[in-house]
Chains A and B, each alone.
Chain A
Amino acid sequence: MKQSRKSFPVFIGIAILLLLVILLENLSAFIPNLPQVFQPTSPLFTVLKKAAVYSLVAVSMNLLNGFTGLFSLGQAGFMLLGAYTYAILMVPAVQKEQVYYLFGGCAFDFSLLDMFEGIFGSGGAGGAIAMILACLIALILAGCVAGFFSYLIGIPVLRLKSDYLAIATLGFAEILRAIFQWQKLGKVTNGANMIKGFPTFSNFNITNGSGETVLRLSTFVPFLISALCILVIVLLINSSYGRAFKSIRDDEIAAEAMGVSLFKHKMMSFVISSFFAGVGGALFAMYVANAQAKAFTSVMTYEILLIVVIGGIGSVSGSVIATFLYVACSEWWLRFLDSEQYLGSFQVPLLRNGFRMVVFSIVIMVIVLFFSQGIMGNREINIGGLLKKISKRSERRS
């Protein structure tokens, strides 16, 4: 009972957040002549979409690094698996010839989207249902494939100690990247070329008969999926399994002595984290509208790791906040550092292409060295507590 009362404000908070996203996205349709920021083409929405995707991956990495104490650097590899699973399952059969033109078509003509469109029809409400179902199943399968491979690789590598585990998972991600770029598998993975033509976020915008967008949902969809997945991870962390994970993080030997099966729980954390990294990878493919092995390098893993560190290792809400800050800074707010700027007639020195990333990495180093707790440390934002505080304050005032 206590648990449900505690989590109730969280659900309300998430629901309000999702509603706000829909509102924000459609603001420009209702109120004309808004500033450029609210137009659908504004960087605001790019940032929101990317951050929604990345926050899921960051939280999944935090589950492993922050809550179970397993230092894994394989996140990009599992994202790659998820992205490719989603892409291969979702490219419509009519598109396949064109996408795989270098290899003379795809090895299998199956597409989830076609299957469901065959059942529900491809237009109107039937098309919408087909689209949603196909996407949902493809996302879950993307997670499952990533989870399955993480199980296979977990059997040997989870026995390793911290830094060896890091380098082994990093290596595994590199192996996956090489396999997916292999020309011999071109009929499935399209070799080193990108797979495109599958439904992306913008396909979720509701259009009327003449093709005009009635209701934009392209930012709402990644938010919804990420929020659901993060919610599941939070529930897991708060369960008895989550407590077992934390006990492993704090002291393996003590945990084992208390009857926590080390291998079982490590494996569980690893597979679940990879599952959500896979879903995150699929969302990433939807975000960039293509799937290409080249994108999922170890730099991506480092980026996500740094986000987790900035947010605070061991804090889910910290990871989410840090993701939004990180993505907003790198994609939008610090963009001006990359081009020449003038204060009056004075040209600000140093500003040139690439300077943004230098500033960025210095900031990250400062955080790593001097604020090793990150934004949140290992605390969480407590919506219920916040509400209570606010209501108390207003009571006092009246």
Chain B
Amino acid sequence: MEYVISVLLSGISVGGQYALIAIGYTLVYGILRLINFAHGDVFMVAGLMGIYFTATMPFSVSIPLVLILTVVLGFTIERAAYKPLRSAPRMSVMISAIGVSYLLQNTATYITGGQPMTYPVIPFLSDTVNVAGTQTKWVVIVTPFLVLLLVFALTMLINRTKVGMAMRAVSKDFETSRLMGIKINSVISVTFIIGSALAAVGSVLFFTNYPAITPTAGAMPGLKAFVAAVFGGIGSIPGAVIGAFLIGICETIIKGLPSAWDVSVFSDAFTFALLIIILIFKPQGLFGEAATDKV
């Protein structure tokens, strides 16, 4: 029983961390129709920045700094690598995203020297707590609540503010919203800023619970978060969050299965199998809108 609770708890927290990344994917995809392959690497860079800044600065300075710099990074990537290709075919933008991901990974390898870096112990988040007889870190408990809070704030932003309305309009129809006087570029920038900020929060939570960061550490959580976004219906925030929690829980369950079955290698593969299944049977995802082709 205790084992089950601990597996579930860590599943929920991993799911929450994926959810924070998945929102970035789903927002960007909703507006630009672009799989932002670099998003997972932005998440990894946020983790690395966390390591470097906490080494020299107190937490009260370094963590906000990580947030700000990650936002700047996301903004810059959009302006430098995606904006020039606004009118190019979708494939070119995706290739550009892959190029950015390659660049971020290689730069991270260069700066860290390719060595795995250990994430600092953040007070409170890394402290252990006793829940129903199992020892876990506070981060595991905090994550789901923080995620729900952020998602609530985000849905408020999207449904109640002018920027949110503009985002919804742009995701419905790019050209028409431009005709209505919406500044497309600033809306897209806001999208990237929100996505990167959430990824930075996600990185603090994710890596606190993780032994080390390597330059490729962002790729796999990134892809999983994308699968979560597809699962929930791309463009839908609640969908992405539910998908992420589901994937997080399933993954930790697979990792927690008896080692005699030796199925833990499939924890990543499971996510992709889920993706292929969902794409075959319900391509629009759980909460997505079915796309229609106009001839």
Chain A residues engaging chain B, CB cutoff 8 angstroms: 65, 71, 153, 156-157, 160, 162-164, 166-168, 170-172, 174-175, 177-179, 181-184, 253, 298-299, 302, 305-306, 309, 313, 352-355, 357-358, 360-362, 364-365, 368-369, 372
Contact = CB atoms under 8 A, between A and B. Distances in A.
A333 B101 CA distance: 24
17 contacts: A157-B279, A167-B226, A170-B223, A171-B275, A172-B272, A178-B269, A182-B262, A182-B265, A299-B105, A306-B98, A309-B95, A353-B114, A357-B106, A358-B106, A365-B103, A369-B80, A369-B85
6 shortest A-B CB distances, which residue pairs?
Answer: A171-B272, A178-B269, A354-B110, A357-B106, A361-B103, A175-B269
Contacts of B268: 174, 178
A168 B81 contact: no
Interface in B179-220: 216, 219
Interface string B254-295: 000000001001101101110110011001000000000101
A352 B101 contact: no
Contacts of A253: 293, 295
Interface in B215-272: 216, 219, 223, 226-227, 230, 262, 265-266, 268-269, 271-272
B276 A156 contact: yes
A360 B92 contact: no
Nearest to A183: B262
Given A357-B106, A368-B95, 14 more contacts: A157-B279, A162-B91, A164-B283, A167-B275, A174-B223, A174-B272, A178-B265, A179-B269, A253-B295, A305-B95, A353-B114, A357-B110, A358-B107, A361-B103
Interface centre among A164, A183, A368 (most CB of B within 10 A): A368
Contacts of B110: 352-355, 357-358
A160 B269 contact: no
A163 B35 contact: yes
Contacts of B295: 253
B92 A368 contact: yes
B96 A368 contact: yes
A187 to B, nearest CB: 14
Contacts of B216: 299
Given A167-B230, A178-B266, A365-B100, A354 B106 contact: yes
Nearest to B110: A354
A306 B99 contact: yes
Nearest to A69: B91
B102 interface: yes
A174 B105 CA distance: 19
Interface in B79-122: 80-81, 84-85, 88, 90-92, 94-96, 98-103, 105-107, 109-110, 113-114
A361 B269 CA distance: 28
Nearest to A362: B103
Contacts of B99: 306, 361, 364-365, 368
Nearest to A357: B106
Contacts of B109: 354, 357
A21 B202 CA distance: 53
Nearest to B267: A178
